Chains A and B, each alone.
Chain A
Amino acid sequence: MKIFRHIRSRFRRDLFEAELAEEMRLHVALQTELNRQAGMSADEAHNAALRQFGNLASIQEQVREQRGWLTLESLAREFRLAGRSLRRQPGFAAVVVLTLALGIGANTAIFTLVNAVLFRPLAVRDEGSLVVLQTEDPRKGESSAGLSYLDFADWRAGIAALSGAGLMATTEVVVTIDGQPRRVLAALISPELFPVTGVQPALGRAFRAEEELPGSSEGVTPVMLSHAAWRGLFNADPGVIGRRVVVNEVPCEIVGVTPAGLFPIEPEPVDFWLTPAHFGDPVRPGTANASRSYRPYIGALARLRPGFSIEQARAELLALHVSILAAHPELGRDLTVRITPLRTLLVGELRPKLWLLAGVVALVLLIACVNVANLLLSRATVRQHELAIRSALGASSRDLIRQALAETLILAGLGGGLGFLLSWWTVGLASTVLPEGVPQLTGLVPDGRVLAFTGAAVLLTSLLCGLLPASAGGTVAPNDALKKGGRGSRGHGQTAIRHALVVGQIALTLTLLVAAGLVMRSLGRLHLAQPGYQTENVLTAQIALSGQSYVQGDFDPRTINHFLARLTEALEVLPGVADVSHAQSVPLTGVENSTRFAVVEHPAEPGRKPSAQLRFVAHDYFAALGIPLVAGRGFGVADGPAAGPVALVNEAFVREELAGRNPLGLHLQLGWGGFKPKEIVGVVADVRHRSPGDSARPEVYVPQAQFANAGITLILRTTVRPEALADAVRREVWRLDPGLPVTDILPLAHYRERTLSGQRFIAFLLGLFSVTALGLTLVGLYGVMSHHAASRRQEMGIRVALGARPADLYRLMLGQSLRLAGVGIGLGLMLALAVAQVLGSQLYEVSPADPLTYAGLSGLLLAVTLLSTLPPARRAARVDPVLALNAE
C-alpha cells in the first residue's frame, strides 16, 4: 500500500502539495476565526493564528519527510546532486572508477576461468557418484601403476558398494580406412562404461556386454568413433555405421558414434573406441589380458551404488586388494590401490593453481577497495567545510550519509560496468594465450553467474567504501568544522584509519609483488633449465612400423632395422640435415615406458620389485641429442641383433638403484625388450624426460636394433629451421614405403614450449595483477598524500611563517610516508613469507624465502611510495604562508 502511495505522490506531487497547502490554509482560517471570537481584530487574529501555527515550510518539510526517505523523487535528486559533485572533480572520479573496474574486472575474468574448470559439469549423468579406481606405486609417485584385466574382473565382482564399473585404457593404433593407414588415438573401454556414465551414442549403438572379450558371435570386432573422428575422418557421413576398417591388422566394423562434447578438452583425445578384446582373451596365455603383471589399463570408472559412500567402497577395495596380493605374490608388496571421485581426478593438478589465482584476485580487489576507501575518506575530510554548511542549513546526518552513499553507488556502478567490459576483453585474451589441453578454456564468455558475482562484488565494495567515509562525513558536528575554518578538522580516529588503510595497502601489494616475482623467477629458471639434451634445431617425426611387412611374430628386428638404415641414409644427404637418429621414446614428446628389472649379480630384497624407465634408442642417439657419455662405452653399429645383448644406464640409475656401485659389467634382466640378461656397457648423463623441470629418473637404454619396436620417433639435427624440412622427411619416408603413417613432424622446441605454457600462463596473470596492484598503490598513495597535504596547508603555512625552510617541509611529508611505508613493508614481508610457503610446491629451484626477490621488491615499493609522495610534498613545501593562513 505504501508503495502505491509513494508512486502516487511522486506522480501527482503538485497535487499533493496543493492538498497540503489547502489543509494548512483551512487550519489557519479556522484558528483566525477562533481568535476573532476571542476578541482580537481581524488582522491580529490572522497574525496570531499564523504564529501559533508555526513555520509552515518546516511543517511541510516534516510531512514530506514523513513519507520515508526512499521516495523515488528524493532518490533521483540525490543521484543528480552526487553526479554533479563528482563531475566537478573528474580526476578523482576517474581514478576511483578505474580502480574499481580493474579490481572487479579481474575478479570476473578469473571467476569465469575458475568456473569453467571447476564447476561445469561433464557430459555424464550424475557426475557426483562416479569414481575412479586405480593402482599406484607410492615409491615411484606415478599417478597410476596400471591395472590388469583380471584385477578389474575381481574388483567388479567383489565390491558391493559399486553398481557398475568399466575399464579404460588409451593406446595408439594404426587404422586403415579404404586402404589408407593412419595412426590414431584409441581408447579401450568396457562396454559397461557408457551405460555406467549415462552416455548415449549419437549414432548407431554402443558396445554390448559380450563384446568385452574376443570371440563374440558375429566374428567381426566392433569399434566406435568419437564425434571428432566422425567429422574429421568420415566427413560426418551418416552412413558410417557398418563400414569396415582395419585396426592393427584386425578387421573391424563401426557400430556407433559417441556424442559431441563428451570431453571437456579440445581437441578430443580419442578418435576410436575399442573394447578390451583388443588386448586379447584373458584365458589365452600370452595375451595382455591373461596376465596380472601386464597392466595396460589406466583404471576403472565406476558408479557408487545409491546409499553407499566412497569410504565404504574404499574399504572394500583395500580388503579385496590385500587378498589379491596374498594370492599373487608376484605382483609385489609395493602396489596399492586408491579410489578418487571423477571430478577430482580430471581437474586434479590444475585446482591448486586456480585457487592460488583466485586468492590473488581477491587480494587485488581488496587492495582496490582499500584504495578507494582511502580516497573517499580523504575527500570527505577535505569536504567537511561544505558538509558543515549543508548541515547548518538543515541537512540531517541521514541526508549527508545518503549523499555520500549515492556518490559511492554511482562510482561503483560505473566501475562495475567498466569492469564487466574489461573482463570480456581479458577472458578473450586468456582464451588465446592459454595452454592446450586445459579443460574448456577455449571460446569462453563470462556467464550469468559471473554477472551475479560482479554485482555482489560491486555492492559489497560500495558498502565497504561508502560506509567508512559516510560515517566519517555524517558524524561531523557542524560547529566544529565551521570554527576550524573548514580544512583540517582531523579527528584522531579518522587519521588513524586512513594510515591503517595505507599500511594495509602497501602490505598487500608487497605480498602480490613477491608472489609474482617468485613465480617469474621460477619460470625464468625453467626456461634456462638444461634438460640434458639439445632442444633447438631438432626435428622429430613419429612413424608407425606396424604391419606384416615389418613385424613378424617373434619380434625379429631385422626388417625394421633395414628400413631405418635406408631411411637414415636418405635423410642424411638432405641439405640442412646434420645428423639423423631415432628412438622409441624421445624426451618431451610424451612417450615413455617403464619396466621391471632385476640386477642379476645383486638380487633385490624379497618383496621389492624395482622398475626403471626403458628407452629403445639408435646407436647414434646420444650423439644426435648431445647427451654425454659418462663411463664405459656407448652403443655402436656392432650392437645389432646378432651381437650380445647390451644396455646402458644413466647416472640416476647408478645413484638410486645400484647405490653408487660401478655398473659396468653387471647384467640386467628386463621385463620386456628382450629376455636374455643384458650387459651394462656404459653410463650416460641424466636427462629430464617429461619436461625441462622434471626430475631425473633411473633409465635403462637398449639398442633399438636388438629389439623390434613398431612406434619410432625420428630425430633430425638440423642446421636450418627444423620446420623447413618437414615435407622432405615425409617425401623420403614415402619413397621407401608409400602410405606409411608419418605424423607429428614437429621441432623438439615445440614440445618444450608446450610443457612450459602452463607455468607461463600463471606468471603472465600474476605479473598482470602485480603491475595493476603497483599502479593502484601508486595512484592511491598519491591521492592520499595529496589530500593529506591539502588538509595540512594551514599547518604548513604556520610552519613557514615561523621560519621553516622548504627542505624541512619536504622532510616532514616524506618522513611521514616513509614511516607508513616502513610499517607496511614490514607487515608485507611477513604476509609474503606466509603466502610464499604455500606457493613453495610450484616453484622451480627458487626458495620461497629468496632474499634477492624480497629485498628487491621491497626496495621497489619504497621507491614507488616516495615517488607518489613527491608531488604533494613539493606542493606543501611551496605553500605561500599568507594564502594558507587566510584560506577558508
Chain B
Amino acid sequence: MTSPKADLLQGTLDLLILKSLQHEPMHGFGIAVRIGQMSKDMLSVEQGSLYPALYRLEDQGWIKAEWGISENNRKAKFYSLTSTGRKQLVSEEQSWAKLSTAINLVLGRA
C-alpha cells in the first residue's frame, strides 16, 4: 500500500469503522482491510489507532464484541454494530455530509 495516504481524524475513524461493520460483523484485521478496500486504498488505518478506537466504540455501546472462529480457524474477536450504533452511523453520515458540503462551499468560493 504505497499510494499517498490521508491522515485520519479520530472522529472520522469512528465513522469509517461503523460503516465497515454495517453489513456484517468483522474482526479487527478485517475492518482495517475493509476500510482500505472501500476507499480504494486511499485510506489505511494505523493499527495503533484501530484497536483503541474499537475499544472506545465498544465502551460507548455502539459496537459489541463476540469471540468466534476466523476464516483460518483461529479464535478471533468479532465486532458488530448495535442498534444504537446503527442510529449513530446514520447520524454521523448526515453530519459528515453537511460538513463536507460546507467545506466544499468555502473552498469553492475561495
Contacts and interface: CB of A to CB of B under 8 A. Distances in A.
Interface of A: 1-2, 5, 19-20, 22-24, 26-27, 29-31, 33-34, 52-55, 58-59, 62-63, 65-68
Interface in B45-97: 46-48, 51-52, 55-56, 59, 61, 70, 72, 74-77
Given A1-B61, A2-B59, A26 B51 contact: no
Given A19-B77, A66-B56, A24 B51 contact: yes
A59 B77 contact: no
Given A31-B29, A66-B59, A26 B47 contact: no
B48 A58 contact: yes
B61 A26 contact: no
Nearest to A33: B72
B28 interface: yes
Given A1-B61, A52-B47, A26 B55 contact: no
* Majority secondary structure of chain B interface residues (helix, strand, loop or mixed): helix
Contact of B77 (A1, A23, A53, A68): A23
Highest count of chain B CB atoms <10 Å: which of A30, A53, A62: A30
Nearest to B57: A66
A241 B55 CA distance: 80
A52 B29 CA distance: 12
A66 B29 contact: no
A81 to B, nearest CB: 25
B29 A59 contact: no
B74 A5 contact: no
A55 B48 CA distance: 8
A23 B56 CA distance: 16
A5 B28 CA distance: 20
B47 A62 contact: no
A19 B52 CA distance: 14
A23 to B, nearest CB: 5
A34 B72 CA distance: 12
B75 to A, nearest CB: 6
Given A59-B48, A62-B48, 7 more contacts: A22-B75, A23-B76, A29-B74, A31-B29, A54-B48, A58-B48, A68-B59
Nearest to A62: B52
Nearest to A54: B48
Report which residue of A33, A55, A66 has the largest number of chain B beta carbons within 10 angstroms of its beta carbon: A66
Nearest to B48: A54
Contacts of B59: 2, 5, 66-68
Interface in B5-46: 27-30, 32-33, 46
A27 B45 CA distance: 13
Contacts of B33: 34
25 contacts: A22-B75, A23-B27, A23-B28, A23-B76, A23-B77, A24-B51, A26-B28, A26-B29, A26-B70, A26-B75, A26-B77, A27-B28, A27-B32, A29-B72, A30-B29, A30-B30, A30-B70, A52-B47, A54-B48, A58-B48, A62-B52, A63-B51, A65-B52, A66-B56, A67-B59
A66 B54 CA distance: 10
Contacts of A53: 47-48
Contacts of A62: 48, 51-52
Contacts of A31: 29
A23 B77 CA distance: 7
B86 to A, nearest CB: 18
Contact of B52 (A2, A27, A29, A66): A66
Given A26-B27, A52-B47, A63 B75 contact: no
A37 to B, nearest CB: 12
Nearest to A65: B52
A180 to B, nearest CB: 84
Which of B33, B48, B72 is most buried by chain A, counting CB atoms within 10 A of its CB? B48
A157 B74 CA distance: 97
Nearest to B27: A26
A29 B51 CA distance: 16
Please provide the 10 A-B residue pairs with the shortest distance between their CB atoms, ordered closest to farther. A30-B29, A54-B48, A27-B29, A62-B52, A53-B47, A66-B55, A63-B55, A66-B52, A26-B76, A23-B77
Contacts of B61: 1
A375 to B, nearest CB: 39
Contacts of A30: 29-30, 70, 72
A9 to B, nearest CB: 10
Contact of A26 (B46, B52, B56, B74): B74
Contacts of B46: 54
B47 A54 contact: yes
A66 B56 CA distance: 6
Nearest to A23: B77
B51 A59 contact: yes
Contacts of B77: 19, 22-23, 26
A5 B47 CA distance: 24
Nearest to B59: A2
A311 to B, nearest CB: 59
Contacts of A19: 77
Nearest to A27: B29
A2 B59 CA distance: 7
A31 B51 CA distance: 15
Contacts of A26: 27-29, 70, 74-77
A33 B52 CA distance: 23
A34 B75 CA distance: 18
Nearest to A29: B74
A27 B28 CA distance: 7
B76 to A, nearest CB: 5
Contacts of A63: 51-52, 55
A2 B29 CA distance: 25
Contacts of B30: 30
Contacts of A59: 47-48, 51-52
A89 B77 CA distance: 48
Given A5-B59, A30-B29, A66-B59, A23 B51 contact: yes
Contacts of A54: 46-48
Nearest to A30: B29
A53 B55 CA distance: 17
A31 B72 CA distance: 12
A2 B46 CA distance: 26
Nearest to A2: B59
